[in-house]
């Protein structure tokens, strides 16, 4: 089936650092989604992208829909402790599916 390759798998950051993660596929998508999962909770939608090249922000988060439509990027500026969690990229596929990447786990370096 379709696959979204997300990297890095995990990262340790210090408070205040900027964070970058990406998602790539061999398939073309018309929509890219970024979700965040806090510990003990279900994923919550952060940003939705609908157009190639689109750059969308949500507070300190900025996501981009790649020009080739095969990738997407998420940046977090000036990270804070509550940014800890798992970030998933996702994309609708066909009439009814949404496929998810394997996630990037963000932790704070002690």
Partner 1 sequence: EAQVTQNPRYLITVTGKKLTVTCSQNMNHEYMSWYRQDPGLGLRQIYYSMNVEVTDKGDVPEGYKVSRKEKRNFPLILESPSPNQTSLYFCASRHGQGPYNSPLHFGNGTRLTVT
Minimum CB–partner distance for residue 74 and partner 1 (Å): 15
Comparing CB distances to partner 1, the nearer of 60 and 92 is: 92
Rounded CA gap, 60 and 20, in Å? Answer: 12
Minimum CB–partner distance for residue 15 and partner 1 (Å): 26
How many secondary structure helices (H) and strands (E) does the chain include?
0, 11
Enter the DSSP assignment of 84: -
Could you tell me how many residues make up the chain?
110
* Stretch of 14-22, 60-68, 73-81, 88-96 lying at the interface with partner 1 (CB under 8 A): 88-96
H or E element, residue 47: strand 44-49
Minimum CB–partner distance for residue 23 and partner 1 (Å): 11
Which of 34, 66, 62, 61 has its CA nearest to residue 51?
Answer: 66
How big is the site for partner 1, counted in residues (CB under 8 A)?
A: 26
Which of 8, 15, 16, 14 has its CA nearest to residue 89?
Answer: 8
Stretch 18-57: interaction string toward partner 1, x if CB under 8 A? -------------x-x------xxxxxx--x---------
| Residues in touch with partner 1 (CB under 8 A) | 1, 4, 6, 9, 31, 33, 40-45, 48, 88, 90, 92, 94-103
């Amino acid at each position: 089936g379709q696959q979204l390759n997300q990297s890095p798998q995990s990262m340790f950051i210090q408070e205040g650092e900027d964070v970058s993660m990406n998602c790539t596929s061999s398939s073309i998508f018309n929509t890219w989604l970024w979700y965040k999962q806090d510990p003990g909770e279900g994923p919550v939608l952060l940003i939705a992208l609908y157009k190639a090249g689109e750059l969308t922000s949500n507070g300190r988060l900025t996501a981009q829909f790649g020009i080739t439509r095969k990738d997407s990027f998420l940046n977090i500026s000036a990270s804070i402790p509550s940014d800890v969690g798992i970030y998933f990229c996702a994309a609708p596929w066909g009439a009814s599916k949404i496929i998810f990447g394997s996630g990037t786990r963000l932790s704070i370096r002690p």
